[in-house]
């Protein structure tokens, strides 16, 4: 039993399960927004939740396998589970396969449309692992792959698309892209040495951080557009105002010549932003 518990913890660390909190609230926000006209069943909620966990676990596990040799060379990432020997590539590959099957099965339980859409969605998520080898816009691709989550949740509940959810997804895409650019500033020297692509390593941290701040400005605008097109309660604007202040604080904490606070900005502030968004969507839903 202790062995199983330890293995679960190791797999959880490999995929950084705690980072699920970045995108999951956006997907749950889509469910909450659909609730008014398309009340989901308890099973719908469970399948969406499990599909999110399965898809993200598959994507993160696959990324760790593909990047294992690169991670071994990088002092910051050499302690990860595969390079350090805590997990083998074979174990990790089995984990990716099982996680992918969980995602596909959950999608099938939601609808036939979701089943068919699960295959291209999984492809986009897995393919991200190769983008750093050929494009400095890998951060944008990551944002795009992850922003499919709210759209997928909305389609699962309603069977349709709407501008409100597209704006929410665009908000998630620019939000993820922006903070991934900031996070990658830690590896500028390593990326240059290994011939890897990232925006900071190609155009410098100053310009990259400027682009990141513009993207986060777009995040705010897209969420504001979601509020307008969905006809949300004005109370959501209060939450959006706090989110805007947190985005500003994130860029105040991280400077081109000072990355000491990047983990605080990356995890703590971004966690608060995602959670606040979800609480704001729930609150306005109760007040409408």
Tens digit of each residue's pLDDT (9 = 90 or more) over 213-222:
999 999 999 9
Is the confidence at residue 21, as pLDDT, over 90? Answer: no
Tens digit of each residue's pLDDT (9 = 90 or more) over 32-87:
999 888 888 999 999 999 999 999 999 999 999 999 999 999 998 888 889 888 89
Tens digit of each residue's pLDDT (9 = 90 or more) over 135-150:
999 999 999 999 999 9
Whole-number pLDDT of residue 117: 95
Q: Helix 42-66 crosses helix 112-131 at what angle (to 10 degrees)?
A: 20
The CATH number covering residue 99 comes to 1.10.357.140
Is the confidence at residue 19, as pLDDT, over 70? Answer: no
Tens digit of each residue's pLDDT (9 = 90 or more) over 227-262:
999 999 999 999 999 999 999 999 988 887 777 877
pLDDT confidence bin for 270, thresholds 50/70/90: confident
Whole-number pLDDT of residue 152: 94
Whole-number pLDDT of residue 5: 67
Whole-number pLDDT of residue 1: 67
Helices (H) and strands (E) in the chain, counts: 15, 0
CB 132 within 8 A of CB 196: yes
Token pair listed for 141 = 């691709």
CB 215 within 8 A of CB 174: yes
Q: Nearest 5 degrees, angle CA 50-CA 54-CA 55?
A: 120
Query: Mean pLDDT across the chain, nearest whole number?
Result: 91
CB 59 within 8 A of CB 126: yes
Q: What share of the chain has pLDDT > 70, as a percent?
A: 96
Nearest residue to 142 via CA among 48, 54, 22, 44: 22
Question: Helix or strand or coil: residue 258?
Answer: strand
Token pair listed for 142 = 């990551």
Whole-number pLDDT of residue 269: 86
Q: What share of the chain has pLDDT > 90, as a percent?
A: 73
Domain region containing 180: 2-287
Q: What's the total number of domains in the chain?
A: 1
């Amino acid at each position: 039993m202790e062995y199983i518990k330890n293995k679960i913890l190791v797999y959880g660390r490999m995929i950084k399960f705690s980072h699920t909190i970045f995108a999951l609230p956006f997907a749950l926000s889509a469910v909450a927004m659909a609730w008014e006209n398309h009340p989901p069943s308890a099973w719908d909620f469970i399948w969406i939740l499990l599909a999110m966990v399965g898809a993200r676990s598959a994507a993160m596990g696959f990324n760790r396998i593909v990047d294992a040799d690169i991670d071994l060379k990088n002092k910051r990432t050499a302690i990860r589970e595969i390079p350090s020997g805590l997990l083998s590539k074979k174990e990790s590959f089995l984990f990716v396969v099982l996680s992918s099957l969980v995602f596909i099965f959950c999608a099938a339980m939601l609808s036939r449309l979701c089943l068919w859409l699960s295959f291209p969605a999984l492809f986009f998520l897995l393919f991200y692992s190769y983008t750093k080898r050929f494009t400095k816009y890998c951060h944008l691709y990551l944002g795009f792959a992850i922003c499919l989550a709210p759209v997928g949740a909305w389609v699962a509940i309603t069977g349709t698309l709407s501008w409100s959810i597209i704006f929410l997804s665009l908000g998630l895409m620019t939000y993820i892209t922006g903070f991934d650019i900031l996070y990658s500033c830690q590896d500028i020297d390593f990326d240059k040495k290994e011939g890897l692509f990232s925006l900071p390593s190609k155009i410098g941290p100053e310009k990259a951080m400027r682009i990141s701040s513009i993207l986060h400005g777009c995040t705010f605008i897209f969420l504001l557009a979601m509020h307008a097109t969905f006809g949300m309660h004005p109370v959501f604007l209060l939450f959006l105002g706090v989110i805007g202040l947190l985005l500003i604080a994130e860029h105040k904490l991280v400077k081109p010549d000072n990355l000491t606070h990047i983990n605080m900005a990356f995890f703590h502030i971004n966690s608060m932003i995602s959670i606040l968004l979800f609480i704001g969507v729930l609150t306005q839903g109760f007040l409408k």
